[in-house]
Amino acid sequence: MTYFEDLTPYSYFDHKFPAHLNVLSVGWLESGKDFTVGETPAEFHRKLMQLIEDYSIGRTRGWHGCTLPHGEQVMTYPCSVRSGGRTVTLGSAEVGVVGAGGVIMVAPNLIYHYVTDHLYLPPSVFVEAVLEGNFFETSASILD
């Protein structure tokens, strides 16, 4: 996976966003790099999964796996989780939310695994945007 510090300018697939937009990275974690940990509410987990299932962007043809330590647990590849009776594969797309002032925050969909299994605590502006349901859609007029 590629590491980007939270709330720094997004550059992974930067050609897909017009230059006039303020697009920031969130949740691009990598082994050996520190990240904030803490609890997030169950409602955040639910809405984050809804974002992943219904509004994924930047899909790729392959998968990134989680490089963070898992202790004795064997990490499956690709990483997947159960949601609503079905399996959701993570690591091959991004998700985006729109925060205050129209800032777009883009995260790999592995963020769900990071939050639930590694207790990653995303920046509060990202958490708030997810909880408010301010999901970014590539067809949104914000791209104009």
Percentage of the chain exceeding pLDDT 90: 74
pTM given for the model: 0.92
Of the candidates 49, 45, 44, 69, which has an alpha carbon nearest to the alpha carbon of residue 128? Answer: 44
Asked whether residue 99 is assigned to any structural domain, the reply reads yes
Number of structural domains found in the chain: 1
Q: Which domain holds residue 113?
A: 21-64+93-143
Q: What is the rounded distance in angstroms from the CA atom of residue 108 to the CA atom of residue 98? A: 15
Q: What is the rounded distance in angstroms from the CA atom of residue 68 to the CA atom of residue 35? A: 11
Q: Give yes or no for residue 16 having a pLDDT over 90.
A: no
Confidence of residue 13 (pLDDT cuts 50, 70, 90): confident
Confidence of residue 19 (pLDDT cuts 50, 70, 90): confident
Q: Give yes or no for residue 78 having a pLDDT over 90.
A: no
pLDDT of residue 120: 98
Query: From edge to edge, which strands make up the β-sheet containing 23-25?
Result: 23-25, 104-108, 94-98
pLDDT of residue 72: 84
Asked whether residue 37 is assigned to any structural domain, the reply reads yes
Asked whether residue 84 is assigned to any structural domain, the reply reads no
